A and B are shown apart, each in its own frame.
Chain A
Amino acid sequence: MRVSAQAFWAPKLGNQVSEYEDAFAPRPQVVGKVWDTCRFAIADGATETSFSGIWAKQLVRALCRGALDGSRFSEGLHAARERWSRLVGCRPLPWYAEEKIRSGAFAAIAGLTLADSDQSKDQGTWEVTAFGDSCVFQIREDRIISAFPFEQSGNFNNSPVLLGSTPMKDGSEPTELPIRCGIWRKGDNFYLMTDAIACWFLKELEAGKTPASELFRLSGGTKGSFEPWLSGLRGSCAVRNDDVTILKVEIEKD
């Protein structure tokens, strides 16, 4: 399969780029790369926690390495936590930062794996995983084929379950990540989105609109359409002011 991927991202309006706490991987744009198997991931670090951007980066790194797959999940999560602890604990901090580290960082994650086991065919398999309110959508010619983990905008709330950088004692920690599998066809697009923009996407669908066509037209860079498009959505309150990440993955037609 030949795959292209591009991320569109922005910090909260009023925040600096350095304050962006989402993460995505792979980081560089992918253009027409041929793969048998490839992985993509996003994570959304929680604003009320500290060092959540660093935690989000550890999680997308782990997802893209397959370290959180199936029964490897607990071991992979433990390794990501150790890495986070090393990164945030390497310098002296004021009392409040120390206390904040003790309570941990939190993030939502979503990952996509594409596999092309029989290259003579125009289709292959996909597997998505998510924990929290970051979402993955499969789009075919403006039509939504699958949505995971949320299928309705009403599923979003102010208290999503999140993965913590310190073990959760309330029993909410999963032993494996939930997954969904399906079939892709050449020409399909997948969009991995953090919550604010994913909620907008589902609301648009529920209103009978075709938000996929808007996403398909997005272009990045300083002269691209993404920033003015997002500004418009934020200005009209169609999108909540939050960090926004859209990772677009396209399986190209021959």
Chain B
Amino acid sequence: MPYSAEISRSNPTCFLFLIDQSGSMADAVPNSPSRRKADALADAINRLIQNLVIRCAKEEGVRDYFHAGVIGYGTAVGPAFSGALSGKELVAISEIGNMPARIEDRTRKIDDGAGGIAEQAIRLPIWFDPVAGGGTPMCQALALAKDVIQRWIAQHPSSFPPVVIQITDGESTDGDPSNAMRSLKELSTQDGNILLFNIHISSDPGATPIAFPDSPAQLPNAPARILFEGSSVLTAFMRSIANAQHGLNLSDGARGFVLNGDMVLVVQALDIGTRPSNLR
């Protein structure tokens, strides 16, 4: 049965994030005019990486259940980690945990236990910095992702299939990405084909978000349908996480695709996409 491989230190899986760093990512997040999409997305990715590290953290340190990488595409296409991991494509999660570029002091709002909200000081490790410039060379990014994943699979042929999550706010500027997505999705381990998510962020507060559709029927235009067709069907475990922990009601054919997502939806999709199965 596909997507049933155990995820363990001897049989890890991998997550690769493809991040749109085009000029339009300098536009504001819908309903938050003072915040750039690039900044909000960098925060979301840093928190996600932080959560991945924490999920693998045990008493003795971080267990290498995952390898992870970030590819940015805009003015240039390439690995997008900052700091000591700069230039690296896929990195073991223990190395990521021990090598943030820096740790920033932030605050977060928490329930004060008396019906109010209190601010709590937290330390947020930073691995990925916001960038916004240039076009949207999605085809190049997908081709690089294929190359990176192909090499990883050669070393981990029986692993749970890698999950690739692309986050973009626009249309490809270097051609139709359909073939590049199809070609990437054809890669497989003995446990199944790789899983590709496409998360589209909108700049338009009036745009209607569509999350995890099972058909293209309600999609408004051809670029949205291209991203839908390029997205993988969610695994049963991912659907169970989406339904049980995010209060969704996804059908069997639901795809890893979000259109016109706000940051809440982006974070939700990232969580669902990075929950392939229980860890050992």
Give A residues with C-beta under 8 Å from B: 12, 14-15, 19, 47-48, 50-51, 53, 94-97, 99-100, 103, 158-159, 169, 241-242
- Known contacts A47-B278, A99-B54; decide if A158 and B123 are in contact (CB<8 Å): no
Instruction: Using CB atoms, name the residue of chain B closest to A237.
Output: B4
B278 touches A97 (CB 8 A): no
- Known contacts A95-B125, A96-B53, A159-B244; decide if A50 and B280 are in contact (CB<8 Å): no
B6 touches A50 (CB 8 A): no
A58 to B10, CA, bound (A): 30
Q: Does B111 contact A (CB under 8 A)?
A: yes
- The SS class assigned to the A binding surface is loop
Among candidates B6, B58, B123, residue contacting A95 with C-beta atoms closer than 8 Å: B123
Known A96-B53, A100-B54; further 19 A-B contacts with Cβ < 8 A = A12-B8, A12-B280, A14-B8, A19-B58, A47-B280, A48-B278, A50-B58, A51-B59, A94-B98, A95-B123, A96-B54, A96-B57, A96-B62, A97-B59, A158-B240, A159-B245, A169-B111, A241-B280, A242-B280
Instruction: Using CB atoms, name the residue of chain B closest to A51.
Output: B59
Within 8 A of A (CB), among B1-48: 6, 8-10
Q: Does B84 contact A (CB under 8 A)?
A: no
In the bound complex, residues from chain A placing their C-beta under 8 Å from that of B123 are: 95
A48 to B279, CA, bound (A): 7
In the bound complex, residues from chain B placing their C-beta under 8 Å from that of A103 are: 54
Give B residues with C-beta under 8 Å from A: 6, 8-10, 50, 53-55, 57-59, 61-62, 97-98, 103, 111, 123, 125, 237, 240, 244-245, 278-280
- The SS class assigned to the B binding surface is mixed
B59 touches A96 (CB 8 A): no
A19 to B9, CA, bound (A): 13
For the complex of A and B, list the 8 residue pairs with the smallest distance between their C-beta atoms, beginning with the closest. Answer: A96-B57, A100-B57, A96-B53, A99-B54, A96-B97, A96-B54, A100-B54, A50-B58
Instruction: Using CB atoms, name the residue of chain A closest to B62.
Output: A96
